[in-house]
Structure 1
Amino acid sequence: MSDTFKPAADDVQILQREECFSGFYRLDLLRLRHRLFNGDMGKPISREVFVRHDAVCVLPYDPIRDCVVLNEQFRIGPLGKTDNPWMIEMVAGLIDKDELPEAVAHREASEEAGLELSALWPVSVYFPSPGGSNEQVHLFVGRCDSDGAGGVFGLEEEGEDIRVHVWTFDQALQAVRDGVIANAASIIALQWLALNREEVRRTWT
């Protein structure tokens, strides 16, 4: 059965759903059961799920100069687990209702880095933490002109204080190897670009 099992609509039964907390994010408690690989329905289990908007992350890339534009900003998650909770990461933002991921990518590049993206290359749509969150991330590489990029950006009303860096692609990839870049979306995007850089540069130049 395990080799032929293909999930269907009735293979997960939600028995109860309770909203435990609601703020900028939400936490729900679900009681459910699901089909086992042996074909039986499993026993009821309880799972918390962190409910949040889907996100867009875009790596601005200048194919002419072979440079990437990266953001540096304070993040609450690493606080207490690292000596430096200022993360080097990509342009990113949450998707509001009725927004296309591509529109979010363009908007956030302007707000967070002062950049205009002339093209987007879809990389992946993935779940960063499927064991406890329903968030999906839409990942792109965006074509940009890095000449003159840099400075401090962000929306004051959202508490943003973002310093923008321009690094050569080799510098950025070395930062992944050294653990300086330590967030999943940036690592995935830079490794994808390492594998596909020749095609991207050939297409965009």
Structure 2
Amino acid sequence: GLLDNMAPEKRIKAEVEEETGYQIDQVEKVFEAFMSPGSVTEKLYFYIAEYHAGDRTGAGGGIEAEGEDIEVLEWPIEQALRAVDDGIIVDGKTIMLLYHVALKKIV
């Protein structure tokens, strides 16, 4: 989501709750990146966080009024990486974070 005058750490916590239905307390910033330097000045902030079943506050899925229709999937890292290889996951931001987790052996 857009920062909307919020600190990135605060915005990511709000986005996680809206989109996944989980409330998280601790986030770890892993990197910042420009997706298209030279043509777009938008900087993206990438975070990871742990969650537990008891952290669920809602169904997730995003905000319908904003046109969001997000399907929440919980896959083992191996399955997610296969989905990248198979062309199922094609979002660059998601791919970057999945490979970060895989390389750091965070799972």
| Pairwise TM-score range, normalised by the shorter structure | 0.7 to 0.9
Q: Which residue of 1 aligns with 2:77?
A: 169
Residue of structure 2 in register with 1:126 after alignment: 33
Q: Which runs of 5+ in 1 are unaligned?
A: 1-92
Alignment partners' CA distance in 2, 1:107 and 1:175: 27
Letter in 2 for 1:187: I
- Cα distance in structure 2, aligned partners of 1:147 and 1:173: 26
Change in 2 beyond 3 A, CA 1:121/1:148: closer
Alignment of 1:54-69 (within 5 A): none
Decide whether the 8 Å contact of 1:146 with 1:166 is kept in 2: no
Amino acid aligned to 1:114 = G
Aligned-CA RMSD value: 2.2
Letter in 2 for 1:125: E
Structure of greater Rg: 1
Alignment of 1:91-110 (within 5 A): 93-97=1-5, 99-110=6-17
CA distance change for structure 1 residues 114 and 131 in 2, over 3 Å: closer, same or farther? same
Judging by fraction of residues, say which structure has more strand. Answer: 1
**Identical aligned pairs, as a percentage?**
35
DSSP-derived class of the 1:104 partner? helix
2:13 aligned partner, one-letter code? H
Tell me if the contact between 1:152 and 1:161 (Cα under 8 Å) persists in the aligned partners. Answer: no
Q: Shift of residue 157 of structure 1?
A: 2.1
Displacement after TM superposition at 1:170 (Å)? 0.9
TM-score (norm 1): 0.47
Q: How many residues align?
A: 106
SS at match of 1:138: strand
- Tell me the alpha carbon deviations over residues 120-174 of structure 1, each in whole angstroms, 9 at most, x when there is no partner: 1211101001131010000011111257979562212212222211111111111
Equivalent runs, 1:1-205 vs 2, <5 Å? 93-97=1-5, 99-145=6-52, 153-197=61-105, 200=106
More helix by share: 2
Distance in 2 between the 1:148 and 1:165 partners?
A: 16
Distance 2:53 2:90 in 1: 23
Q: Is the 8 A contact 2:24 2:55 kept in 1?
A: no
> Hey, which bits of structure 1, 4+ residues long, moved more than 4 A?
146-152
